[in-house]
Structure 1
Amino acid sequence: MFELRSANARGISNLEWLYSQHTFSFGDYQDTDQMGFSDLLVINEDRVQPARGFAPHSHDNMEIFSYVLEGALEHRDSMGSTSIIRPGDVQIMSAGTGITHSEHNASAYEPVHFLQIWIVPDQPGMKPRYQQHHFDTAKKRGSLHLIISPHGEHQSLSIHQDVRVFAGLFDGDEQFTLQLPENRYAYVHVARGLLELNNHPMGAGDGMRVRGERELHFDHGQAAEVLVFDLRPKALPYEK
C-alpha cells in the first residue's frame, strides 16, 4: 500500500532567517495525523539565510542527521566536534544522554538548503557520538546507496535503531528496484526533482508511506534526489 504525503500539505515555519517545511508535526505545527511513521519522527526541509542559523540548544535520546542539498552548514557541539557539511555529506549525531549543538550557514553570501531528520533510538541513555562521511555522487547515480544502517554496513554511518537509509539520484532512463525484506515498512522522501515510485508520480518535498510491499521501483526521474527509509513495521514512533 502506498500513501502519499504531499509537499504542499506540509507545515511551515517562516522566520526572518529560516524557512522550514515540516513533513511531520514539529514545533508550532501539530497535526494528529502526522506524528511520524515507524521510528521516523521528523523530516524538516530547512533553508537558512547567509550567516544565520540555530543557536546552541540541547537534545537527548534522539538520532539526528543532516543531509545538505545546497550550500554549506557549519556544525559545533559540546563534544568538541566542528565541521562543515556540504552536498554529498551526511552527518549523524546520536544525542544519547544529552548534547548541545549549533548549526549555522557557513556562507555570508549564499543560503544553505538541507534536510534535518530525527529517528527515535532503540534505547535511551546511550553515550553521545558524532559521525560524518561524504558519499560520492557516482555511487548514488541511477541507484540507491546505503548511507545509514544499524552496524555501519558497507561504510555507511551507524545508527542506534533498526533502520536503513538509502540515497539515490535519478534522471532520464535511469531506474532501480530496491528489494525490501519481508514484513518491513518504508518511507520515501523526494528531496528534489521528479520521479515515479511503482508508477506513482512524486515531486520535490513529497513523501510516501509504504506498507506491505516487497519491491520499490524508481524510474522516470527528472533531476531527482531521493531518500528511502527501510523501517520496522510499526505505525508511530514510541509505539511498542
Structure 2
Amino acid sequence: MKTILHRADTRGDANHGWLHSKHSFSFANYHDPERMHFGALRVLNDDTVSENRGFGTHPHRNMEIISIPLEGDLRHQDNMGNKTIIKSGDIQVMSAGTGIMHSEYNHNADQPVKFLQIWVIPNKQGVTPRYDQITLNVADRKNKVQQVLSPHPDDAGVWIHQNAWFSMSDLDQGKEVSYHLQDAQHNGVYAFILKGDATINGQALHQRDGLGIWEVESLDIKADSDTEILLMEVPMALN
C-alpha cells in the first residue's frame, strides 16, 4: 500500500473576494510540482462563491468536469442549450471533448454557494461534448457507500469517459464501512473528508484533508465523529 497525505491547510488558497477557492492540486496561480494530479484526478477545487456572483462564460476542452454542490444552489448555462440549477444532493458532469462554453453563478441572493469542481483526465480525446445532471438519493449513503459516478452509462450515478468510480458516504460516529476498489490493479483512491473526522486504513483524517491510496484492494473507513466522505477511484497511469 502506498499513500500520500494532503492536510487541509496545505492546499492552495486563492481568495478573490467574491470567490474563495482551495486547490488540492495545482490550478491557476497555485503551482506545486509535487501536487500536479493524483493519477487521472487533475483538479479538486473547494469553491465558495458569493451571492449573485460567479464564473462568466469560459471554454473547456478534453476534460471530464464534475460539480458537486455542498451548500446552496449553482446556476449553469452552456452553448449546448442547457440552463439548469444544481442543488445540494445533485451531481453534474460535462464531457468537454471537442470544446464547450459555459458559465456558473450562485443562484442565491442571500447565501454563498459552496461546491466542489473536479476535473478528471479522460481516456478518449475529441469526444462529442455532453452534459448530464442527476439528483441523488442522499439516504442511500447513510452509514454505507453510495456510488455516484462510474464509466458506464447504465450504472448508478453519472458517467464519464474514464475508468473511474466516485462514491459518497455519510457516517455516524463509530460506524465502519469498507470500500473495495473496482480495478485494484490499475486504480487508486483519493479520499476527501467533507465533514468530520475519520480513520482510513489507519490514517487519521480531519475535515477537508485528502488521502491518496494505491496498490491496495480495499479501504477500511471508521468515522471518528459524524463524517461525510467523497471517494474518487481513478487510474494511476495516464493513457
Give the TM-score, by structure 2 length.
0.95
Contact 1:185 1:210 in 2 (8 A): yes
Q: Distance in 1 between the 2:83 and 2:38 partners?
A: 31
Q: Distance in 1 between the 2:200 and 2:34 partners?
A: 23
Correspondence for 2:201: 198
Correspondence for 2:57: 56
Q: Distance in 1 between the 2:164 and 2:133 partners?
A: 17
Structure 1 position 153, deviation (Å) = 4.5
Q: Distance in 1 between the 2:29 and 2:10 partners?
A: 15
Which of 181, 187, 209 pairs up with 2:212?
209
> CA-atom RMSD, angstroms?
1.2
Structure 1 position 193, deviation (Å) = 1.9
Correspondence for 1:144: 145
Secondary structure at the counterpart of residue 101 of structure 1? strand
Correspondence for 1:186: 189
Q: Distance in 2 between the 1:148 and 1:205 partners?
A: 20
Tell me the alpha carbon deviations over residues 146-186 of structure 1, each in whole angstroms, 9 at most, x when there is no partner.
11111134332110011111111112232210112431311
Secondary structure at the counterpart of residue 191 of structure 1? strand
In the alignment of these two chains, the number of paired residues is 236
Give the TM-score, by structure 1 length.
0.95
Q: Which amino acid aligns with 1:227?
A: L
- Structure 2 gap segments, 5+ residues each: none
- Structure 1 gap segments, 5+ residues each: none
Q: Which amino acid aligns with 2:184?
A: E
Q: Distance in 2 between the 1:221 and 1:141 partners?
A: 15
Cα 1:221–1:142 shift into 2, 3 Å: farther
Structure 1 position 116, deviation (Å) = 0.3
Q: Distance in 2 between the 1:121 and 1:89 partners?
A: 22
Q: Distance in 1 between the 2:234 and 2:16 partners?
A: 33
Cα 1:152–1:168 shift into 2, 3 Å: farther
Contact 2:64 2:96 in 1 (8 A): yes
Correspondence for 1:115: 116
TM alignment of 1:9-88, pairs within 5 A: 9-88=10-89
Cα 1:139–1:108 shift into 2, 3 Å: same
Structure 1 position 215, deviation (Å) = 1.6
Tell me the alpha carbon deviations over residues 83-135 of structure 1, each in whole angstroms, 9 at most, x when there is no partner.
11111100001111110000100001100011000001111110011111111
